[in-house]
Copies of this chain bind each other. A is one copy, B any other.
Amino acid sequence: MRDCFEIVDKDLLGRVGRLKTRRGVVETPALAPVINPGLNVVPPREVAELGYGLLMTNAYLIKRRYGDVALEMGVHGLLGVETPIMTDSGAYQLMEYGEVEVKPLEIVEYQVKLGSDIGVILDIPTRHGGSRETVAREVEETIRRAREALEVDRGDMLLVGPVQGGVYLDIVARAARELAKLDYDIYAVGGPVQLMENYNYRELVRLVMTAKMNLPPGKPLHLFGAGNPHMLALAVAMGVDLFDSASYALYARDGRYMTPHGVYRLEDLGDLPCECPICSKLSVDELREMPYQERVYRLALHNLYVLRAELRRIRNAIREGSLWELLELRARSHPSLLQALREYERYVAFIERHHPVARGVVSGLFFYDEVSRGRPEVYRHLHRLRERYTPPPADALLLALETEVKPFSRFGWIAELAKAVAGDALLRERVHVVVASAAYGVVPLELDSTYPLSQYESAIDMDEPRAAAALASDVAWFVRGLGRYRLAVVVYEARHEAAAVEIVKRLRRAGLRAFLRPFTSVGDTLAFLKLVLALSQPHT
């Protein structure tokens, strides 16, 4: 077992890593631009000089075209670069044309002889729309080939084992578990091209997450054929470390212009909305009027700049711990990406286990709406409250609705109130101060300086019916789970009456004596607390 992958930074399931190949280290997440051995839209050397530390080409096509002659030059000689190169096995051609003229072991051996740094076995990619029986049978054959391929002496070449199964998630899970038993250097998720072409990112999330959850977490994961910049962040957040894509060139040939948040047709653009070295020197008219080959070359370079910048953005986000924020941003590139993000949130329990506790750069978390509440920090907080939290022995809950100033225990009227309660002999032992937060649900005041409970900025409107219902439900869950309060007073700024009313309703339904009290002064709240405590004295 070779240890070729080092994880440097983590965020969600994403990581910044270093993949060691015999030709040097590849910084991940990395996208390997596909070089068509017969048709260079951009010369491989130029692609490498742009900072792409890994290139992808097709060993099967090289074998068919040049046969053993290519072995003398080696794949690096053929492409004219010393950059690490990954080679594909013809599996894509197998999917497209139904057959290939090469045997599974033969193409692995050919890749070794070609001097490929990363080879791929000849798996059977799952076709879109295949029946369950066909897919199951093909996946068994892929697993068999994966076992067999390990018998080849691959020297220093890293080998990729692809997980297939498409929409049949139980088959995907089985494939991943079987491959996990084998000593692959890199795993891959295969066959999502049609899903991505149709923007079916929700299904893609199911596929990749199912594979991820059943593969060794420390190994690098490759996603085949993902080349639209707007979905790279989501893929990385699912634990994908490597991509390969010909999109930069295919789009260019088709007159399509990438941006971080989607792809435009060149003819629809009035200005080039980009700062790259191509676009900053050209007008859109100059680009349109160029001869075809020149235009394709420049468009392809532009696309490579856009992909590179997105990968850098993703790496920065992982380092500073803001990958979630990037997901929410990219989810506004297309409705299908928001649907995919909502699907991703269903895996929060798994994500939370791998998500780091601290961020690289300590800055506030952003909460926009219910989708933001799907982030692992919220799940983690509520989970910890449930599993580990013991509140002080009080019989009255003083629930304060969150203010804009934070931490609540230090600033604003909540802090004053808490101080007054703590200083009052009658109330000190009987009242527990808790903040109702539209972001985190409930924050016991004694915890609110724990990161990240008071480091957030929220645009959640807690008085909007859905947010109010969610908040009330979190509060009721907290109270029921602890089961020790006899009564609750909800204190709030007058503008948040809608949320307060909803919370009191839910608390009453949960069997608690609950009271509403708009905040006017510390004295008023204290007097009110004393009154309800006196009135609700057990009659013993």
Write the chain B residue with the least CB distance to A9. Answer: B270
A338 in contact with B464 (CB, 8 Å) = no
A319 in contact with B368 (CB, 8 Å) = no
A457 in contact with B329 (CB, 8 Å) = no
Considering only residues 287-310 of chain A, those with a C-beta below 8 Å from chain B are 305-306, 308-309
**Is A133's CB within 8 Å of the partner chain B?**
no
Q: Which of A319, A328, A329, A469 has most B Cβ within 10 Å?
A: A329
A367 in contact with B335 (CB, 8 Å) = yes
Give the chain B neighbours of A305 by CB distance below 8 A. 275, 280
Write the chain B residue with the least CB distance to A280. Answer: B277
Write the chain B residue with the least CB distance to A364. Answer: B335
Count residues of chain A with CB under 8 A from any CB of chain B. 49
Give the chain B neighbours of A465 by CB distance below 8 A. 465-466, 469
With A465-B466, A465-B469, A469-B465 already in contact, the answer to whether A315 and B458 are too (CB < 8 A) is no
Question: Could you give, for residues 356-373 of chain A, a 1 whenever the CB lies within 8 Å of some chain B CB and a 0 otherwise?
Answer: 000001000011110000
A275 in contact with B308 (CB, 8 Å) = yes
A117 CB, nearest partner CB in chain B, Å = 23
A281 CB, nearest partner CB in chain B, Å = 8
Q: Which of A259, A271, A320, A458 has most B Cβ within 10 Å?
A: A271
**Is A520's CB within 8 Å of the partner chain B?**
no
A276 in contact with B273 (CB, 8 Å) = no
**Is A386's CB within 8 Å of the partner chain B?**
no
Give the chain B neighbours of A316 by CB distance below 8 A. 269-271, 273
**Cross-interface CB contact of A459 among B271, B313, B335, cutoff 8 Å:** B335
A261 in contact with B309 (CB, 8 Å) = no
Give the chain B neighbours of A309 by CB distance below 8 A. 273-275
Kindly state the separation between the CA atoms of A338 and B367 in the bound complex, as whole angstroms: 10
Kindly state the separation between the CA atoms of A272 and B276 in the bound complex, as whole angstroms: 13
**Is A268's CB within 8 Å of the partner chain B?**
yes
Kindly state the separation between the CA atoms of A63 and B309 in the bound complex, as whole angstroms: 44
Question: Could you give, for residues 12-39 of chain A, a 1 whenever the CB lies within 8 Å of some chain B CB and a 0 otherwise?
Answer: 0000100000000000000000000000
B368 in contact with A332 (CB, 8 Å) = yes
Q: Which of A259, A268, A280, A335 has most B Cβ within 10 Å?
A: A335
Write the chain B residue with the least CB distance to A270. Answer: B319
**Cross-interface CB contact of A275 among B16, B276, B320, cutoff 8 Å:** B276
Kindly state the separation between the CA atoms of A285 and B308 in the bound complex, as whole angstroms: 18
Q: Give me 12 other A-B pairs in contact (C-beta within 8 A), A329-B329, A342-B461 excluded.
A: A270-B319, A271-B313, A271-B316, A273-B309, A275-B308, A280-B305, A331-B368, A335-B458, A335-B459, A464-B466, A465-B466, A466-B466
- The 8 residue pairs across chains A and B that have the minimum distance between CB atoms: A335-B459, A275-B276, A271-B312, A466-B466, A273-B313, A275-B305, A338-B459, A273-B312
